[in-house]
Amino acid sequence: MRTPLRWALQLGGVAAAGLLAITMFARPGLAVDDVAAGQALYQSKCTGCHSVDADRIGPRHRDVIGRKVASVPGFNYSPALKKLGGVWTPARLDQWLSGTQKMAPGSRMYIAIDDPTQRRLLIAYLRSVSKPH
């Protein structure tokens, strides 16, 4: 049986969780829904090889936006990616996700996401785990 106090506590918990989510994802130019959808896509498409905070088969994604390409300390990048140069921007990530081998032939990542909406959502999530730029 639900007492008013329990109701209030549960409601408070939900509100706090919602506020936390908004605080985590609220960023100028980033829609909360896009970030959540991007996170779900990230879980499906990226977590086989990547984590946000650990280098695995691929390098960590924390602060990837604004990061110099092939620059995570200690990660063993392919010569192709080292040669690419520059900085990861949303536009460059869009190009990368469109076809990694087209952008850097010989790199060790083999993916091509044709759907621009999926790429946009993934990049929204990657922006949410990066410092604002």
Partner 1 sequence: MEMQDRSLAGNRRTFLQQAGVLTLGAGAAGLFAGRPALAAAPKFRSDVGVIQTALALEHEGIAAYRIAGKSGLLSPGTLNVALIFMGHHEAHRDSLAKLVMQAGMKPVEPKSDAQYVADLKLGSLKSEKDVVSLATTLELGAASAYIGQINAIRDPKLANLFASISADEATHWTTLNAAGGGPIPKTAYIFG
Q: Which residues bind partner 1 (CB under 8 A)?
A: 43-49, 51, 54-57, 101, 106, 108-112
Rounded to the nearest whole angstrom, what is the least distance from the CB of residue 41 to partner 1 in the complex?
Answer: 10
Question: What phi and psi values does residue 108 have, to the nearest 5 degrees?
Answer: -95, 5
User: Widest CA span of the chain, in angstroms?
Assistant: 65
Nearer to partner 1, 30 or 77 (CB): 77
Rounded to the nearest whole angstrom, what is the least distance from the CB of residue 132 to partner 1 in the complex?
Answer: 26
Rounded to the nearest whole angstrom, what is the least distance from the CB of residue 29 to partner 1 in the complex?
Answer: 27
Nearer to partner 1, 56 or 133 (CB): 56
Nearer to partner 1, 10 or 43 (CB): 43
Contact present, 67 and 92 (Cβ < 8 Å): no
> Which residue, 95, 91, 48, 87, is CA-closest to 71?
87
Contact present, 122 and 45 (Cβ < 8 Å): yes
